Amino acid sequence: MKRAILFILWAVILIALCNTAVFSHTVPDLERSGSISVTMRYGEKTVSGGTMAIYRVADVTVDNGNYGFTPCGEFASFNGDMTKADTDELAFSVAAYIADNDIMAMTMPIDSKGRVAFYDLEPGLYMLIQTVAANGYNCANPFLVSVPMFDGEEYIYDIDASAKVELTKYSNDPHEDTTPDSGHNTTSPDKGDKLPQTGQLNWPIPILLVSGTALILAGLILCFSKRKEKHEK
């Protein structure tokens, strides 16, 4: 009976190890480049004109299943909390750091269709800042985008970050409503607009579940075995 219990335990452990790859969090390809594109909109209307700047703020780091960001280059001394990479709080902190340190950036014009794109980007965390507003509009708030970006199922390398932009009209009247009057929600993230999860990945969960099930099963078998032996005596 003891041999049977050991056989069951080994079988369950082998099954768990074979299926770990199925349940585990996918790992990004840090050798693959990507892109970030943005379409500027006010409600349903695209807005042309102005310029957008991009800064590479941090490297992507993957260490023993931990996914995170490490400030790089001119941002090496930035001490903001990189675990809050998907928050306005960190974006404004990075923008302030850029202003305080006069960091230069690559800028691109926003074309006649309201679109701007940056290509051949190596994996990392990027800050986008509208440096020149379109005529009649305020600059969009600064925002962070990672390459790649995890959508809940896989990593996306060519990212449309349009959902992170919400334009308002410029007005000298403080009482005038300058926000879009349509029902279009420009701030709701589309698929692919979430930054990768930082912290410990979830690969140990299936192993623990299967191992726990194996121990329970072994305990039940052992219990029934003892009852049978006692009954036979």
* Average pLDDT value for residue range 134-138: 96
For residues 40-67, give the mean pLDDT.
Answer: 91
The Cα–Cα gap between 75 and 62 comes to 19
Q: Please, are residues 138 and 118 in contact by the beta-carbon 8 Å criterion?
A: no
What is the Cα–Cα distance from 20 to 169, expressed in whole angstroms? Answer: 51
pLDDT for residue 94 is more than 70: yes
Mean pLDDT of 25-35: 85
Pull the structure tokens for residue 28: 């990004």
Give the amino acid at 102: D
Exposed, middle or buried, 59 (CB in 10 Å: 0-12/13-18/19+)? middle
| Cα gap 95→143, rounded to integer Å | 9
Instruction: Map tokens 């049977």 to a residue.
Output: 4
**pLDDT for 27:** 77
Mean pLDDT for 143-150 is 93
Percent of the chain exceeding pLDDT 70 equals 61
Sketch the domain layout of the chain as residue ranges: 2-24+202-232, 34-200
- List 92's β-bridge partners, or say none: none
- pLDDT of 230 reads 60
- Residue 198 — very low, low, confident or very high, per pLDDT cuts 50/70/90? very low
| 147: nearest Cα among 210, 196, 97 | 196
Comparing CA positions, the residue from 132, 137, 126 lying closest to residue 161 is 126
Q: Where are the alpha helices (DSSP H) in 68-159?
A: 88-101
95 neighbors 127 (Cβ within 8 angstroms): yes
Q: pLDDT at position 185, please? A: 39
For residue 172, what pLDDT is reported?
66
Q: Examine the pLDDT at 175 and tell me if it is beyond 90.
A: no
User: What's the pLDDT at 68?
Assistant: 86
128 against 233, higher pLDDT: 128
Band of residue 174 on the pLDDT scale cut at 50, 70, 90? low
Alpha-carbon gap, residue 83 to 80, rounded angstroms: 9
What CATH code is assigned to 34-200? 2.60.40.10
Distance of alpha carbon 101 from alpha carbon 31, whole angstroms: 30
Residue of 125, 153, 141, 145 lying closest to 37 (CA atoms): 145
Tokens coding 128: 């986008």
Quickly state the pLDDT bin for 184 (edges 50, 70, 90): very low
Q: CB–CB of 4/129 below 8 Å?
A: no
